[in-house]
Structure 1
């Protein structure tokens, strides 16, 4: 590993530690009444700040939200042996879940108060095998279009050395948030 890659890995580890420190007080699952009056970006930022709990799947699959900005979301994952398929590499479903999270949350950051979304279509391209020898990967999601009824986004899954492991795209349906759940 060259010095630049080592520095990037160290930066990623430090950013993860800072987010984890904020998340210690947030438990459970965010409720509709907690997010109803927030824009998507405000809700995502509240999650990063530990004011709203992260989704339980993040702990189950060893990944977490690292940053958000308008139209962007970055998730970081730790590929582990427990994520392996029978062929001895990380299962495609792990790639897909990390990428889907980045895609959906990027779209979420564009939702105004009272609007929500759901995935209509999701496509993943796996371009390189992944094992636990890669300490961390990042799924970087970016919105391509966010309209009144449809939003689209793209994401890449990259290692700290800049290598691409997968990329994905999504189409989401945008709608008014329901009154009750």
Structure 2
């Protein structure tokens, strides 16, 4: 009898390892100081976040999700669906899902910003395609840039489980602003 590895189990193990590493690296929660952002491109800010040089934002602790990967135009956040995130119907609230997707999509836009620019989300459109419960140990929100210009950035993304199950997909439009 042959024993074959389950690809979903391998992916989950990789995600759990990434989760442990990033939670250790980003154990300091807070708000970055202005000098930690000054003179940095969007991608350089994400490199500093991933290195633990800038604290993890408080929302990541409150909602139990964390930045796990950032490349120019592509960002991934990972979250643990929990009972505390449930709606009255016994599934994870859509707001938790939207928050992970908003983070990944908007941050994909952020990675491409030059020094002296910032952004904010103008619009977020989420399609929920499958209920999510705490029986799913980890999910990933993957955001990828569609367009990045001088005033507008757009991105698309999805929320998936380690087995590839799609729970939601989304698009965003962000406005690009001068940093103050």
Alignment deviations for residues 63-97 of structure 1 (CA, whole Å, 9 cap, x no partner):
00000000010000000001000000000000000
TM-score (norm 1): 0.94
Alignment deviations for residues 132-175 of structure 1 (CA, whole Å, 9 cap, x no partner):
11000000000100000100000100000001000111011112
1:101 corresponds to which residue?
103
Aligned-partner Cα distance in 2 for 1:21–1:87:
34
TM-score (norm 2): 0.95
2:18 corresponds to which residue?
15
3-state SS of 2:107 partner: helix
3-state SS of 2:168 partner: strand
Q: Which runs of 4+ in 1 moved over 6 A?
A: none
3-state SS of 1:18 partner: helix
Gaps of 5+ in 2: none
CA RMSD of aligned residues (A): 1.0
- Map 1:31-42 to 2 at 5 A: 31-42=33-44
Residue 20 of structure 1, CA deviation = 1.6
- 1:136 and 2:134 are equivalent in the alignment: no
Aligned residue pairs: how many?
176
Which shifted more, 15-24 or 124-133? 15-24
Aligned-partner Cα distance in 2 for 1:174–1:63:
25
- Map 1:1-181 to 2 at 5 A: 3-24=6-27, 26-178=28-180
